[in-house]
Amino acid sequence: MNDSNEPEASPPVVDLVRTGVANVASLRAAFARLGIGLRVAETAQEVRDAVALILPGVGSFAAGMEQLRLAELDQALADRIRAGAPTLAVCLGLQLLATTSEEARGYRGLGLLDLRVNRFPDGVLRPQIGWNRIQADPDCELLQTGWAAFANGYRLTERPVGWRVAWADHGGPYIAALERGAVLGCQFHPELSGAFGAALIERWLERSSVRRRTASAALCGGDS
């Protein structure tokens, strides 16, 4: 029983990969607003065992992959996503799922998407910073059409086989987000995308059974 006036914190049921190239404060704040705490997954076993996992990223493709490999998390991440375990990849996190990137020639990504990440073409603002409209394909289950916040200089332009996709346009159409079951990748930042992003995170939490587990934990930990 909590004798103070402070509300009891929700159990931290979503794990966050430490990439070393991400500012996770906005993610923590967004999930806290939904009543969900985050904890850091630092080992391959923690990555594999997480009920739901976030792969964030802000920065370069090379630095992101270096950090994952140095921490020996790359194979665990790849295995997890191939198995369809609930995972949310944000911004650079989505790009790291690809095979290669024009930003970092000679570096290989996780190879889960047999695609190359390409630079925005000349003649458009690069990086793209701000709001852009995304258009979800009709068969999307988590993704919806709306406006989202972006901060990216590179993007994927081809549809990967076996994934549902939402598109945006900046110097030509590109992948704003993709989904397959409980695996969700967003080139935009859902945590900075207002009500639209919060609703998407909530749908992912529901698909990942996080809400059910949180409710069960609250019941088990309630006052007798």
Check if 191 is active-site. yes
Residue 5 is assigned to a structural domain of this protein: no
**Strand 154-155's sheet: what is its strand order?**
98-101, 113-119, 154-155
Residue 44, classed as helix, strand or coil, is helix
- The model's pTM: 0.88
From the list 46, 170, 191, 206, the catalytic residue is 191
Tell me: pLDDT of 48 over 90: yes
Q: pLDDT tens digits for 157-170?
A: 999 999 999 999 99
CATH number at residue 51: 3.40.50.880
From the list 8, 91, 141, 170, the catalytic residue is 91
Q: pLDDT tens digits for 125-156?
A: 999 999 999 999 999 999 999 999 999 999 99
Residue 73 is assigned to a structural domain of this protein: yes
Residue 183 is assigned to a structural domain of this protein: yes
Residue 117 is assigned to a structural domain of this protein: yes
Secondary structure E strands in 8-120: 14-17, 38-41, 52-55, 87-90, 98-101, 113-119
Residue 8 is assigned to a structural domain of this protein: no
**Structural contact between residues 159 and 136, judged by C-beta atoms closer than 8 angstroms:** no
From the list 179, 189, 202, 220, the catalytic residue is 189
Indicate the burial class of 215 (C-beta count within 10 angstroms; 0-12, 13-18, 19 or more). exposed
Residue 3 is assigned to a structural domain of this protein: no
The parent domain of residue 192 ranges over 14-220
Return d(Cα 142, Cα 206) in angstroms, integer: 10
Residue 166 is assigned to a structural domain of this protein: yes
Check if 170 is active-site. no
Q: pLDDT tens digits for 69-79?
A: 999 999 999 99
Residue 215, classed as helix, strand or coil, is helix
Residue 42 is assigned to a structural domain of this protein: yes
